[in-house]
Amino acid sequence: MNRLLVALVSTLAVAQTFPQSVYPALEKAACRTCHEPDGVASTTRLQFPDEGASAAKLEEFGRSLVLFINRDQPEASPLLAKPTGRMGHAGGIRILPGSADEKLLRGWVMQLTKLAGPELAAALKYREREAAGIGYERPKIALRRLTHSQYNNVVRDLLGDGSMPATQFPPEDFINGFKTQYQGQSISPLLMEAYSAAAEKLARNAFRGGDTRGLLPCKDTTLACRTKFVQTFGPRAFRRPLKADEVRRYTALAARESDPLKSAQLVIEAMLQSPAFLFRLDETTDAALKPYATASRLSFALWDSMPPAALLEAAGKGELASEAQVGKWARQLLGDARARRNLDEFTSQWLRFDRVLNTAKDRRQYPKFNREAAVAMTEETRRFVSDLVWSGRDFMELFTDQAGYLTADLAAIYNVPAPAREYERVTFPADQQRSGILGQALFLAMTAKPDDTSPTSRGLFIREQFLCQHVAPPPPGVNTNLPPLGDGKPKSNKDRLAEHQSNPGCAGCHTLIDPIGFGFEKFDAIGGRREKARVLLSDGHGDKPKFGEAELDTRGYVAGIANSNFNSPRELGPILASAPKCQECVVKQFFRYVSGRLETRADRPLIDRVTADFRASRFRFEELMISLAVHREFLSASPGEPAHVAHHHPAR
């Protein structure tokens, strides 16, 4: 009896301190790393709270784990059996059987078996509330610096100058997979100097040869003429009406020069260095400016550039206040060539063209790879994605289309006849087993080493770019190099990577990425087809290197996706295309590009709505863009209530 009492007291103590005892044990086991919205286990029912969540939130979460309890057989509860390895778990053993942490977890399992009535109902409601984004607020980003791409586009549309000065600016960093993220948009002293030099040159070039671009509304030297120029050019440059003090300040600046062209040049140079030009309005509480913020968000999302004059005029008239109005403008903007250039920019960042353009390959092993071939790889993918979008095709054919856009250089790599015309659409032979982006040289080359393939890199890219799942980096001090081959029997990368599966410190993550990459092993480091791996056995110690051939086992699978065994890109393509997580990831990637940040739990209703519209349109990417543009303005989750918006189906 005393033992039972002690056990009961112990269990109650655990129940009262979940945030202080059980949760730290789960954190130590790195469970949250996978079981979070962008973790590799995000497709499962188990979702941990955000890092830094309050004790109250952790307590709610702890009780919600009742979903993973077997009341009749507590020891067989997935909550206990999976992390201890007694039940199949893609993440491997996270909590050692017999450890103090396991005892804490077992005590919590026993406590959860006793939940009943209102307490049980509340625990079960937790997941529903989390999925709806209730209690969360979206991050508010008031201003966002123009990216280099946007800077080039804006000066083109504002001044008619296509010199692309931002290509000479200090390079931008990729954050969350894009160069548009607000965390990387501070202005360094070096960038400020570049802005100053560009403004001076752009202003000077604006009137070289006279006012050939029609920037001046009048050409006399009166105060009224100078004021009129400021009042017409300023709102376009700042993408909002000018304030009275701004009109006075820039008009006074214009008065320093008597020549109308030099006077306007001074104003342009000053405005191009103003924060009002360099930063675009994204969020505001000023009711008068909100329509202009909407116009700016809409235009930069679909054009990667400033709003046209007609859109700014519509904002001023209050004609961006409804879903129908914003949707109408979104469709109109997508009919312009600037929308196509914006898609190209999105594609180049999402699919990381920079990686293949900046990569180097061992010229002795891969003489077909050079700068021209790398450029052709990016252009093939650009044309491939562009055709999917602007021809109104099913965008999930990104993974299943069995054709490419070839040049002579690419045909040599693919080992197919050269096309009659550059970038002609060519269907790959069935024995090549290529499929969509997964079979294109861009993907295969950028995810390989200079002298060999990399199953880990290929699996990681698919997890991060196509499933939107974050894989934690290896722990500090872990040796990530493959074991040396030595002088012996040739080993494939799959054989050499077997250590990842047997080493508990590696298996948790590598089980989730390496098996994906194994399915691509019949494609070499530049995307050429191979039947066996050519393996360096010895560097010869000064003599000729010694090579051997290793058999390839290309059996792979995607942990977390049911029935996902595959042997080639052609078999994996349909698996990804039909996976809800992959379809949703396409939406998330465009959201990240447009919004300049990762999605949060508060964005869950928006992501769900846009994904539903994307599916309803049979995966037309144009409809995804329109849906995001519309619902981003009108669909939001308040801290205490579920999000709601009138049901909207994209027009076909």
Which helix (H) or strand (E) segment holds residue 629: the answer is helix 621-634
What is the C-alpha separation between 614 and 388, in angstroms, rounded? 14
Query: Rounded to whole angstroms, what are the CA distances from 481 to 355, 497, 512, 568?
Result: 21, 10, 18, 25
Task: Report the pLDDT value the prediction gives residue 8, as an integer from 0 to 100.
Answer: 46
Residue with tokens 């006793």: 114
Query: Rounded to whole angstroms, what are the CA distances from 375 to 93, 250, 410?
Result: 44, 45, 10
pLDDT score of 638 more than 50: no
State pLDDT tens for residues 13-22. 444 579 999 9
User: Which of these, 336, 283, 284, 331, lies nearest to 305 by C-alpha position?
Assistant: 336
What is the C-alpha separation between 365 and 357, in angstroms, rounded? 18
Contact 643, 637 (CB under 8 A): yes
Task: Report the pLDDT value the prediction gives residue 398, as an integer from 0 to 100.
Answer: 98
Least confident range from 212-221, 300-309, 583-592: namely: 212-221
What is the C-alpha separation between 376 and 371, in angstroms, rounded? 9
Least confident range from 108-117, 125-134, 267-276, 494-503: namely: 494-503
State pLDDT tens for residues 511-546. 889 999 999 999 999 999 999 988 777 665 556 777
Mean of pLDDT over the chain:
90
Task: Report the pLDDT value the prediction gives residue 42, as an integer from 0 to 100.
Answer: 81
Task: Report the pLDDT value the prediction gives residue 475, as an integer from 0 to 100.
Answer: 62
* Mean pLDDT on 124-130: 89
Task: Report the pLDDT value the prediction gives residue 99, as an integer from 0 to 100.
Answer: 94
Parse the chain into domains and list their residue ranges. Answer: 2-131, 368-377+395-575
Contact 450, 360 (CB under 8 A): yes
State pLDDT tens for residues 200-210. 999 999 999 99
- Percent pLDDT > 90 in the chain is 78
Dihedrals φ, ψ of 143, to 5°?
A: -130, 145
- CA 145 to chain CA mean position, Å: 19
Task: Report the pLDDT value the prediction gives residue 148, as an integer from 0 to 100.
Answer: 98
What is the C-alpha separation between 589 and 621, in angstroms, rounded? 12
What is the C-alpha separation between 376 and 356, in angstroms, rounded? 10
* Mean pLDDT on 612-623: 98
What is the C-alpha separation between 347 and 379, in angstroms, rounded? 11
Higher pLDDT, residue 473 or 625 = 625
Please give the full DSSP string across 543-588, using - where no structure is assigned: S--EEEEE-----B--TTSTT--BSSHHHHHHHHHT-HHHHHHHHH
What is the C-alpha separation between 622 and 518, in angstroms, rounded? 34
State pLDDT tens for residues 419-474. 999 999 999 999 999 999 999 999 999 999 999 999 999 999 999 999 999 887 76
DSSP-derived 3-state class of residue 156: helix
Task: Report the pLDDT value the prediction gives residue 465, as an integer from 0 to 100.
Answer: 97
pTM of the model: 0.91
Upper half-sphere CA count for residue 495 (Cβ side, 13 Å): 12
**Angle, helices 337-350/148-159, rounded to nearest 10 degrees:** 170
Exposure of 542 by Cβ count < 10 A (0-12 exposed, 13-18 middle, 19+ buried)? exposed
